[in-house]
Amino acid sequence: MSAALVEARGVGHAFGAAPVLRGVDLAVEPGKFVVVAGPNGAGKTTLLRALAGVLTPDAGEVTLAGRRIEQWSRREIAQRLAVVPQESALPFPFSVREMVALGRAPFLGPLGRESAADVARTDAALVALELEGLAERAYPTLSGGEKRRVLLARALAQGVDTWLLDEPTAHMDLGHGLYCFEWLRAWLGAAPGRGVLLVTHDLVLAARFADELVLLARGAVAARGAPADVLTAEHIGAVYGVEARVERDSAGGVLVSPLRAIR
């Protein structure tokens, strides 16, 4: 049985005649912060949807806790896996508190009533993401960055150990984006058995926080490993079509400076 929390093995998928994923292998192991990066159209969001069990790939398999994901019900998946999407479209103008409380939905009884413990988890998530002052605001009225924090709080209220996040720092300013990665790293290290997979375009934050960085290009894994090994000028040129200067800082971190497009 696999030790991975969630894993893709040889996953391939196409929309019509257009291949989007090509034989992707990827695993999120306990204690690991895995970051997936790549240009637009590389297949990042499709891969995340396959890992979440929302999309059934044409080839390969996805496992959750060592068991094929299609063998789990949607409720069972939600009791083990939190997904933070790029956006959450809602038919009703839920308040921030109501949005965060939705994280408890997989654990509620037949009547859908919240217990005192459920309310406490929601309150704690609002505080953790510094949203208590916005709790009664209507979610659709928030800025893009504020909405992202609400979705993070919803995942936190869910109380599961495996998180999949699709560009969680999109629409965030520099400070909030850095805070998001710092917060996720702290959450990951606060208890054993947790794992994070995050999709991002931000190579600076990816280089600083990832345990493993996976570069996708045209639906396939172009490079994977430690950020210092993956973020080379050669890889960046091949994947992004950009000439870049790659340097190491005093702590051994990677600094990427794009110079010019080479398409």
Beta bridge partners of 68: 63
CB 14 within 8 A of CB 36: no
pLDDT confidence of residue 1: 44
Contacts of 56 (CB under 8 A, 6+ apart): 50, 70
Homologous superfamily (CATH) of 1-80+160-226 is P-loop containing nucleotide triphosphate hydrolases (3.40.50.300)
Closest CA to 40 of 167, 143, 163: 167
User: Which range has the worst mean pLDDT, 80-84, 186-190, 239-243, 247-251?
Assistant: 247-251
3-state helix, strand, coil in the chain (%, to 5): 35, 30, 35
CB 155 within 8 A of CB 103: yes
* pLDDT confidence tier of residue 113, bands split at 50, 70 and 90: confident
Mean pLDDT on 53-81? 96
State yes or no: pLDDT of 231 exceeds 80.
yes
Mean pLDDT on 252-263? 84
Contacts of 60 (CB under 8 A, 6+ apart): 8, 9, 10, 11, 12, 23, 24
Mean pLDDT on 86-105? 88
**Residues 10-51: tens digit of each pLDDT:** 999 999 999 999 999 999 999 999 999 999 999 999 999 999
Hunting for tokens 């637009």 — which residue is that? 40
Q: Which uninterrupted H or E stretch holds 116?
A: helix 116-128
Domain positions in the chain: 1-80+160-226, 89-159
pTM to 2 decimals? Answer: 0.93
User: Which range has the worst mean pLDDT, 32-41, 151-160, 168-177, 185-194?
Assistant: 168-177
